[in-house]
Amino acid sequence: MTSDNPVTQAATPLARSFALIAGYMLLGVALFVTAEILARRFFNISLQGGDELGGYMLAILAAFGFSYALIERAHTRVEILIERVGPRIQAVLNIFSAWCIALMAVFMAWRAWATLMESVEYRSLSGTPLMTPLWQPQSLWFAGLLLFAGVALAAAVHATLLMLHDQHRLNRFYGVKTLEEVIEEETLTSESGMESAAR
């Protein structure tokens, strides 16, 4: 979704914050696991739980990242056919795609909620030495999936509205990324490295 897309504009602050939080959790796990290895190797102390926390982090990072990746149109699509059909068919395919993503996201959030409720009902504890109550990491995980469902649903509704009066914008907002956009993204990383090198 491009920057003048109202859905993107509305969702970006929240989705970006979620992604940043996930990034800090990743950093935290990297530091904790390194400390764990060093403590185990040199002091024969087992801090324990790095693998467990790492597992929760991964599930939460994924859930927190889905909506941001959606806004950035980063979810991989095969563009080979869709690029070769006329704008009208393209618009139909893009609507189909937007609704399929939305339904998948809603289904994920719904089943995640059911899983969370089961953990609450059974007061499930992780079967690991930390004995973490499972509802704790699963609540964060569910929150991420709920945001994903919300953003995906908003996008699908918006795409459907656009179908009525502005198919061009529909294809621009919800279509496959153009080659230029993909490349811009893939090289951004290196360029920022170059820029800082030049400074």
Subset of residues 19 to 78 that bind another protein, contact rule: CB under 8 A: 19-20, 22-24, 26-27, 29-34, 36-37, 40-41, 44-46, 48-52, 54-59, 61-66, 68-69, 72, 74-78
Answer for which of 10, 82, 120, 163 binds another protein (CB under 8 A) is: 82
> Which residues are CB-neighbours of 49 under 8 A, at least 6 positions away?
128, 129, 130
Beta carbon of residue 69, minimum distance to another protein (angstroms, whole number): 4
How far apart CA 152 and CA 148 sit, in angstroms, is: 6
Quote the CA–CA distance of 33 and 50 in Å, as a whole number. Answer: 5
Give Cα separations from 151 to 29, 54, 123, 146, 165 (angstroms).
28, 27, 31, 9, 22
Identify which of 40, 32, 59 has the alpha carbon closest to the alpha carbon of residue 116: 59
Least separation in angstroms between residue 165's CB and another protein is 22
Asked if 139 interacts with another protein (CB under 8 A), we say: no
Distances (CA, A) of 172 to 162, 163, 168, 196: 11, 12, 6, 32
- For another protein, the closer CB: 84 or 165: 84
Q: Distance between CA atoms of 131 and 58, rounded to whole angstroms?
A: 18
Of 14, 16, 120, 167, the residue at the interface with another protein (CB under 8 A) is: 16
Binding residue count for another protein, defined by CB under 8 A = 96
> Under the criterion CB under 8 A, does residue 3 sit at the interface with another protein?
no
State the minimum distance, in angstroms, from the CB of residue 4 to another protein: 20
Which residues within the stretch 95-114 sit at the binding site for another protein (CB under 8 A)? 96-97, 100-101, 104, 107-108, 110-114
Kindly state whether residue 80 participates in binding another protein, applying the rule CB under 8 A: yes
Structural tokens at position 13: 């602050």
> 156 to 195, contacts with another protein by CB under 8 A?
175-176, 179-180, 182-184, 186-187, 189-194
Reduced to 3 states (helix: H, G, I; strand: E, B; else coil), residue 133 is: strand
